[in-house]
Structure 1
Amino acid sequence: MTTLTDRYLAATLRSVPAARRGEIATELRASIEDMIEGRSAGGQDTTSAEREVLTELGNPAQLAARYADRRLQLIGPTYYLAWERLLKLLLSFVPATVGVVVGLVEATAGDNAGGAIGAGIASALQVAVQISFWVTLVFAVLERTNTPLCLPEWSVDQLPEGPVDRQITLTDAAAAIAWLTLAIAYLPWQHFQSWVFDDEGRNLPILDPALWSIWLPFLLAVLVATVALEVAKYRAGRWTWPLVAVNALLDLAFAVPVAWLMLTDRLLNPDFVQRFEWLRQADHLDAVANLVVVGTTLVVLWDIVDSVVKARRHNA
């Protein structure tokens, strides 16, 4: 059973330099134990004494900042942690979301894919700058005017249950979800705005439009389910065997239809193939099909093996 003191130490040491963690852990634990012993010697219950000592020491994030000689004064110590949490939360998804939406709109409205990507990146950077500026300004004004935020006081009940061995970071989850979002958007987008046109200037979808009857909606559903899996992985913080099983099922649910459709010449739009003389040659089309199948297989096998290895490593 992890004690409150252990949980408090873990929360504090998370934000201090790794080279000093052993020294700080020994010093802080000894101080806490001495303070608890002093209260217990006066007749106070050990459990309540421990809670009072940790409460007096305060938020472990602030204590860690003092140990690391890190000043919480960009906004001010009163509102700094609230400002930091809100800013990190907003920057983790808002700029990327805006960038993807703007890029898709630009790509749909015109025929310049490179310009659409540039517009998306520029919009994401602008949104990130605007968020940073306005959030910082608002918190600076709140501090200068002594406006109370009415935030709940920190207590030992907010300590995590114990050190979390997180395999899935926020960066990993955000990157995976961003790529999946692009894939989900591309499937319908290529049907209306691809980079290939027929002799009359009309858009030629890359994928066979007949697939919209069953297969493309199915693949879209698999991609959406994979996004939900990424969220579940991040919430769990690590690979578990149920997550490994669901991941393998979704990988196969996407890869098997893609490989089968490609090998049976049903994945690519026949008009798209006819547009290119090189693709019209059977040997070349077979080579493309084999390349797609082999590439898809390798990616799926790598993803499944990687998830199994990480799950075994965590449960070893």
Structure 2
Amino acid sequence: MTSLTDRYLAATLPAVPVARRAEIATELRASIDDMVEARTAGGQDTTTAEREVLTELGDPAQLAARYADRRLHLIGPTYFLAWERLLKRLLSFLPATVGVIMGALEAVDGNPGGAIGEGIVAALMVALHICFWVTLVFAVLERLNVPLDLPEWTVDRLPEERVDRQIPLTDTGASIGWLVLVIAYLPWQHYRSFVSDGAGGDVPILDPTLWSFWLPFLIAVLVATIGFEVVKYRVGRWTWPLVAVNVVLNLAFAVPVIWLLLTDRLFNPDVVQHVAWFSEGDNLDTVNAVVVAGTVLIVLWDVVDSVVKAYRHRR
């Protein structure tokens, strides 16, 4: 039967440079034998001593990496900060930008109902590609020891941004991108929808009579919310006045939506007539209940989150 030492060497040597393999094998076997002999001289049996010595030497792959001077990490400390900063910068605006553009193109192409989903999927795909390709490039650069030739750090490079900033640019960009998609969808659903009237036309999802007041009002609230996101980012943190404005804007959007849902005034009655599923049982009431519950939960989460962050900053 092959000894533990032979098995350990067999697991270690294939990963070391071929030119040094014989030298390392001799050196490593001698070291193991010496450590085993030291333990047996103290009264330990050979089998137990060999097992403990090999256990202390650790994973053969890690030992081979030390012999080969090979890094066991994807991005090491020399390249890590440059990788992290580039990744954050790209993720801060590219996914949201592409998501908004793809959502707008989908709406223009005649599918406003799928515009939001298309935008979200596009943004996620862009984010995944950025993470993969940036990481791959930096991993290759490190393995090849390519110098980055970055300028030396000095105090002049300290950011002007305050250390107490609670609101990063990524959050602001994502929020504004989402608001733009919702604003774009409200008028587009009136002309393009997934429900056909049977004569080649489209049936608006929302009740067309809402354009007399409520839909323009909701769009105005959403536009005001975009302005609020910009102001919030410039302030950099949650303050009690900002919390108050956030509560007002959330209520200004959520209360009309919930009221319209509960009074069956939000969805176009023609949609219910052309989509048989809505007429079956309590399906329409279920949809209304889910939308109401989701709206309430989102508003509560946003308000509570802003209150907690403002309170923490005051402390």
Counterpart amino acid of residue 296 in structure 1: T
Deviation at 1:97, TM superposition (A): 2.6
3-state SS of paired residue (1:197): coil
For the 8 Å contact 1:106–1:119, the answer to whether it is kept is no
Counterpart CA distance in 1 for 2:195 and 2:227 is: 33
Using the TM superposition, name which of 301-310 and 98-107 deviates more.
98-107
> What residue is the counterpart of 2:288 in the other structure?
289
- Residues 42-61 of structure 1 mapped to structure 2, 5 A cutoff: none
Deviation at 1:95, TM superposition (A): 5.7
Deviation at 1:255, TM superposition (A): 0.3
Question: What is the root-mean-square deviation in Å for CA atoms of aligned residues?
Answer: 4.3
**Could you tell me the TM-score, scaled by structure 2's length?**
0.57
> What residue is the counterpart of 1:201 in the other structure?
200
Counterpart CA distance in 1 for 2:273 and 2:246 is: 37
Aligned residue pairs total 229
Deviations 1:169-190 (A, max 9, x none): 2222222222212211111121
Deviation at 1:237, TM superposition (A): 1.8
**Could you tell me the TM-score, scaled by structure 1's length?**
0.57
Deviations 1:238-266 (A, max 9, x none): 11001100000000000000011111111
For the 8 Å contact 2:98–2:123, the answer to whether it is kept is no
Using the TM superposition, name which of 306-315 and 291-300 deviates more.
291-300
Deviation at 1:161, TM superposition (A): 8.6
For the 8 Å contact 1:222–1:253, the answer to whether it is kept is yes
Counterpart amino acid of residue 97 in structure 1: T
Establish whether residue 266 from structure 1 lines up as the match of residue 252 from structure 2.
no
3-state SS of paired residue (1:312): helix
Higher Cα radius of gyration: 2
Counterpart CA distance in 1 for 2:120 and 2:234 is: 32
Counterpart CA distance in 2 for 1:225 and 1:273 is: 32
Counterpart CA distance in 2 for 1:161 and 1:91 is: 19
> What residue is the counterpart of 1:179 in the other structure?
178
> What residue is the counterpart of 1:12 in the other structure?
none
Q: In the superposition, relative to structure 1, how do residues 228 and 86 fare at CA in structure 2: closer, same or farther (>3 Å)?
A: farther
Counterpart CA distance in 2 for 1:213 and 1:296 is: 23
Q: Percent identity between the aligned chains? A: 58
- Residues 224-263 of structure 1 mapped to structure 2, 5 A cutoff: 224-263=223-262
Counterpart amino acid of residue 104 in structure 1: A
Unaligned runs of 5+ in 1: 1-68, 73-80, 133-153
Q: In the superposition, relative to structure 1, how do residues 87 and 238 fare at CA in structure 2: closer, same or farther (>3 Å)?
A: same
> What residue is the counterpart of 1:215 in the other structure?
214
Counterpart CA distance in 2 for 1:123 and 1:313 is: 35
3-state SS of paired residue (1:267): coil
- Residues 35-184 of structure 1 mapped to structure 2, 5 A cutoff: 92-93=92-93, 96-111=96-111, 113=114, 117=119, 120=122, 160=160, 164-184=163-183
For the 8 Å contact 1:99–1:123, the answer to whether it is kept is no
Counterpart CA distance in 2 for 1:218 and 1:177 is: 18
For the 8 Å contact 1:176–1:230, the answer to whether it is kept is yes
> What residue is the counterpart of 1:192 in the other structure?
191
Counterpart amino acid of residue 290 in structure 1: A
